[in-house]
């Protein structure tokens, strides 16, 4: 536990004791917001006698939820902390488990991760004869996501309004109906389905509104509009809604989060936590001098009682190699002086910027880790192993396709096509189709009989043995464990061992449950992200600034600070001033990750982002000269180049803002495609989806005319 866990400052204590009504806490970076949340939770239980079953505390990541549970348990002398300390998606899973029956949705639904979504997309694309040379899987899924965002598909396709089906494309219908067939939800569906049930079933809505006496939301600035809708609906009766966040750290506008949701939240009480426990005054002064240029924020000025610390260094390199070599040299010097590799983080706006840095680190024999490599649960050997459990639990087609020939069972493409045709005709799962047709000449093979027998025995065992024993049985009896030992390298075998350990750990965490359901385990792990499972290790961390959110390091290097790269000009062009402000918030996040020392670097050369010479970022020019020590000779013409680039972008924004904007339903004309109708509009990006006689087109507004 940190010092803040034992001694709260005046404002933190005020927040803890503000239990009634709508309370907004603006928690600056490093101001102890987690301490406030856990102490408030404990205060509700210990001092007010509130039942934990009546408290919902929503966090942004599973890692944060786990940390909070552990700290709450210590403060309440209880290790049986309520399940309602979770992410918003975690809450939706629990909600749908209980309320899904109202629309005929079972408890044992599965959750699609990114790889599952891609596999499903490929199935639909192949089934519809869509060439992946014309439309990538990524583009296909982006269109599916867009259609989900802008349609009542749950009401029309899942619950059932046949008269409305004609308004959806064939591919969208097939995709979401395949989901429904196997009761598989993606993260967007979890939110959408929860909203649908809350809005359409008064009994369910009143139950949850009455149950949740107190609602707390961590990182509230990162909630999108639909998530805010759930939060507001749940808090209607008691109005005890406690939100904690910082609009200056809202960096997820691309997923729908907008700082104005938080800024405009109507609160009975506003509390600002502006004492920082993480960074030195020199670092905070730099952070404050940058973020003050934003308009969509709640004014605050971070302060600290820590010693002044080292002045922030700005290094100007002659080229990327020079910049990278300087970073490596600084790290090496600090390690020689007593620091350890794990004390360092190198942050960048885009992943490609790591290349030259990696080369410099290797040259200097410095151990490093790329944060955000392949996610643990997305590694092939892990997905293969879990697919056996998923097929046992859900009998879903995606898992069946993945493992029917793993290990080899003489089940080729022709056999799969035959089985898929049977399943389509009988409207059943592939597993059930195989079960019903195992005696037919096509499928009457010993490996397939053993495959079915494995799952029949596993079903019987599932009620008698632990999850970890069931997992071991499936891997051993299927032959997958033997194949992995024969073909896999040491790392893959270690990953399987780690998975087995995680299942045992899950059992230990839920030892008070009467029955640890396989379905519940699979649903829970599907919510986890890379950041939740990544082992920190003892190496230097390289990561994007987005990945650094919520982390802190003694020494932080922010590299690639060239205008166009950071801030990203594409972001500014697409979203104009909103884009510029989000880029500045991203810079603020990067700066406030540093505890002891901060290094800002950029270099000369050619800028791929702007297709011109590189110039220092505008963010460097926003920092007072007294707050920075500059190393490297910056030609004054380079600073003029920055000003000219900024002016150029501003002129483009002004020109762009004069472009005619359209709304859904508007009739428009295009010089080539003819007359069409706007069916989806994003005016702030000058982006529109238009339905023409010959199909849909995604177009910019400047090529369209009102008719």
- pTM of the predicted model as reported, rounded to 2 decimal places: 0.79
Mean of pLDDT values over 138-150: 88
Of 506, 507, 471, the C-alpha closest to 384 is 471
How is residue 663 written in tokens?
Answer: 């709304």
- What does the pLDDT read at residue 146? 87
The tens digit of pLDDT for each residue in 611-663 reads 788 999 999 999 999 999 999 999 999 999 899 988 888 877 666 555 677 88
The tens digit of pLDDT for each residue in 176-186 reads 999 998 899 99
Confidence class of residue 5 from pLDDT cuts 50, 70 and 90?
very low
Confidence class of residue 81 from pLDDT cuts 50, 70 and 90?
low
- What does the pLDDT read at residue 376? 66
User: Is pLDDT at 532 greater than 80 in this prediction?
Assistant: no
**CB atoms inside a 10 Å sphere around CB 76:** 18
- What does the pLDDT read at residue 493? 77
The tens digit of pLDDT for each residue in 457-505 reads 999 998 888 899 999 999 999 998 888 777 655 667 777 887 887 788 7
User: Is pLDDT at 11 greater than 90 in this prediction?
Assistant: yes
How is residue 433 written in tokens?
Answer: 């189709």
CA distance 229 to 231: 5
- What does the pLDDT read at residue 3? 35
Higher pLDDT, 355 or 275: 275
CA distance 673 to 693: 8
CA distance 697 to 552: 44
Mean of pLDDT values over 157-162: 80
Mean of pLDDT values over 211-233: 95
Give the Å distances, CA to CA, from 66 to 57, 60, 85, 131, 305: 12, 11, 8, 44, 30
Torsion of CA 446, 448, 453, 455, to 10 degrees: 160
Mean of pLDDT values over 451-461: 93
The residues assigned a catalytic role are 33-34, 218-219, 249, 593
- What does the pLDDT read at residue 97? 93
Of 27, 28, 25, the C-alpha closest to 588 is 28
The dihedral region occupied by 87, where left means phi > 0, alpha psi between -120 and 50, and beta the remainder, is beta
User: Is pLDDT at 78 greater than 80 in this prediction?
Assistant: no
Q: Percent of the chain scored above 90 by pLDDT?
A: 58
User: Is pLDDT at 48 greater than 80 in this prediction?
Assistant: yes
Q: Does residue 290 contact residue 37 with C-beta atoms inside 8 Å?
A: no
For the ranges 556-570, 580-594, 644-658, 682-696, the lowest mean pLDDT is seen at 644-658
Mean of pLDDT values over 76-87: 78
Mean of pLDDT values over 340-367: 91
CA distance 25 to 241: 11
- What does the pLDDT read at residue 656? 59
The tens digit of pLDDT for each residue in 514-526 reads 556 788 888 877 7
């Amino acid at each position: 536990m940190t010092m803040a866990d034992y001694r709260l400052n005046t404002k933190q204590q005020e927040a803890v004791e503000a239990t009634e009504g709508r309370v907004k806490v603006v928690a600056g970076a490093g101001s102890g917001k987690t301490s406030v949340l856990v102490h408030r939770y404990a205060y509700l239980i210990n001092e007010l006698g509130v039942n934990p079953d009546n408290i919902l505390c929503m966090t942004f990541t599973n890692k944060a939820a786990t940390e909070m549970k552990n700290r709450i348990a210590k403060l309440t002398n209880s290790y049986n902390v309520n399940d309602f300390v979770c992410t918003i998606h975690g809450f939706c899973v629990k909600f749908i488990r209980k309320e899904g029956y109202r629309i005929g949705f079972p408890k044992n639904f599965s959750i699609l991760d990114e790889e599952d979504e891609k596999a499903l997309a490929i199935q639909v694309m192949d089934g519809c004869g869509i060439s992946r040379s014309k439309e990538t899987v990524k583009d296909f899924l982006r269109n599916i996501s867009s259609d989900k965002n802008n349609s009542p598909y749950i009401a029309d396709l899942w619950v059932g309004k046949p008269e409305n089906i004609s308004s959806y494309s064939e591919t969208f219908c097939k995709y979401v109906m395949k989901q429904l067939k196997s009761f598989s939800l993606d993260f967007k569906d979890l939110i959408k389905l929860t909203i649908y049930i809350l809005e359409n079933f008064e009994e369910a809505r009143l139950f949850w509104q009455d149950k949740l006496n107190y609602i707390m939301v961590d990182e509230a600035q990162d909630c999108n509009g639909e998530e805010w809708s759930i939060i507001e609906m749940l808090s209607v009766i008691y109005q005890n809604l406690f939100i904690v966040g910082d609009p200056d750290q809202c960096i997820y506008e691309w997923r729908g989060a907008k700082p104005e949701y938080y800024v405009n939240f109507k609160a009975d009480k506003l509390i600002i936590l502006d004492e920082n426990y993480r960074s030195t005054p020199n670092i905070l002064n730099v952070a404050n001098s940058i973020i003050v240029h934003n308009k969509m924020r709640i004014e605050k000025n971070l302060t600290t009682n820590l010693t002044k610390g080292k002045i922030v260094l700005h290094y100007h390199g002659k080229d990327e190699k020079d910049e990278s070599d300087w970073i490596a040299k600084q790290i090496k010097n600090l390690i020689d002086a007593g620091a350890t590799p794990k004390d360092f983080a190198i942050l960048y706006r885009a992943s490609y910027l790591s290349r030259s840095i990696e080369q410099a680190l290797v040259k200097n024999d410095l151990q490093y880790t790329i944060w955000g490599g392949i996610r643990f649960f997305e590694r092939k050997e892990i997905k293969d192993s879990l697919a056996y459990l998923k097929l046992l639990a859900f009998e879903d087609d995606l898992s069946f396709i993945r493992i029917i020939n793993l290990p080899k069972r003489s089940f080729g493409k022709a056999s799969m096509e035959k089985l898929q045709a049977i399943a389509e005709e009988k409207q059943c799962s592939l597993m059930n189709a195989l079960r019903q047709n195992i005696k037919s000449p096509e499928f009457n093979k010993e490996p397939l009989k053993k495959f079915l027998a494995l799952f029949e025995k596993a079903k019987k065992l599932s009620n008698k043995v632990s999850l970890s024993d069931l997992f071991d049985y499936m891997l051993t009896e299927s032959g997958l464990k033997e194949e992995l030992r024969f073909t896999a390298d040491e790392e893959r075998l270690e990953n399987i061992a780690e998975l087995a350990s995680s299942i045992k750990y899950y059992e230990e965490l839920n030892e008070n449950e009467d029955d640890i359901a396989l379905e519940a385990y699979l649903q829970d792990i599907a919510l986890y992200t890379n950041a939740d499972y990544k082992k920190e290790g003892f190496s230097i961390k390289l990561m994007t600034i987005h990945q650094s959110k919520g982390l802190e390091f003694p020494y932080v290097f922010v590299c690639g600070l060239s205008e166009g790269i950071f801030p990203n000009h594409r972001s500014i062009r697409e979203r104009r001033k909103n884009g510029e402000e989000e880029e500045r918030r991203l810079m603020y996040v990067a700066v406030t990750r540093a505890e002891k020392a901060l290094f800002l670097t950029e270099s000369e050369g050619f800028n791929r982002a702007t297709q011109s010479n590189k110039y220092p970022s505008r963010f460097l020019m926003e920092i007072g000269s007294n707050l920075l020590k500059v190393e490297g000779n910056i030609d004054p013409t380079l600073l003029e180049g920055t000003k000219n680039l900024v002016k150029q972008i501003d002129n483009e924004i002004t020109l762009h803002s004069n472009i005619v904007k359209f709304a859904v339903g508007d009739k428009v004309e295009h010089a080539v495609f003819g007359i069409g109708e706007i069916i989806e509009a994003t005016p702030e990006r000058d982006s529109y989806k238009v339905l023409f006689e010959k199909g849909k087109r995604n177009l910019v507004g400047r090529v369209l005319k009102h008719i």
